[in-house]
Amino acid sequence: MKPALVVLRRELHLALRGSGDSAATVLFFVLAAILFPFGVGPEPGVLTRIGAGVIWVVALMAAILSLERLFLSDYEDGSLDLLAMAPLPLEFVVLAKMAAHWLTTGLPLIVATPLLALFYGLPAETLPMLLLTMLIGTPTLSLVGSIGAALTLGARRGGVLLSLLVLPLYIPVLIFGVGAIDAAVADLPVRPHLLILGGLLAAALPLCPWAAAAALRQALD
């Protein structure tokens, strides 16, 4: 685990040194969510009803925005070749990069979520469920997104291809994340939604690093 932690520290250091990317992602998340009321109107009942769904959809978009350069900088400067030849399996390198991506992108989105929940007038009792679903769901977004980032590495217009590849895979996370919040508002059981979200994360944790590492090896050949 020590080499994996070294890679994780390296990725966090690089992310913090280029903190503008993370700040831009959070700023996009906040601004895009604020724009929705201008389109649907300022009616409090409408905003409360759509608030959780809007926050989740914008979180998906913000996650995609931050994925394109996940492996690109290492690919361009040759660092990815060195990481692939290191004694540490490439799957663990990918997992460390995913952890760094979530810590610098997913976690700040969660921190900004209460502000948007207040903006949409969501009931205070739904905020814990909103944060819990995002805490479970956003790591899945990073893991699944790593596959798209690896498959489009070095491709022309990779950002467009990345969005087309990843968005359909994000739909289950969106459905069950918003479903858990709606169930909490309607005083219905939320456990099934949370279990499915947890199952998606449990499946993505071993499978996505393996698939992304295979795609990276193909890109490096």
Q: Which domain covers residue 138, as residue numbers?
A: 2-220
Report residue 79 as tokens. 């660092």
pLDDT band per the 50, 70, 90 thresholds, residue 187: confident
Which has more pLDDT, 115 or 86? 115
Helix axes of 127-151 and 90-101: crossing angle, nearest 10 degrees: 140
Domains held by the chain: number: 1
Residue 18 predicted with pLDDT over 80: no
Highest average pLDDT, of 157-171, 177-191, 194-208, comes from 194-208
pLDDT tier at 123, thresholds 50, 70, 90? confident
Residue 160 has a pLDDT of: 75
Is the predicted pLDDT of residue 111 greater than 80, yes or no?
yes
Q: Alpha helices of 107-157 — where are they, by DSSP H? A: 107-119, 127-151
Write down the pLDDT at residue 65: 84
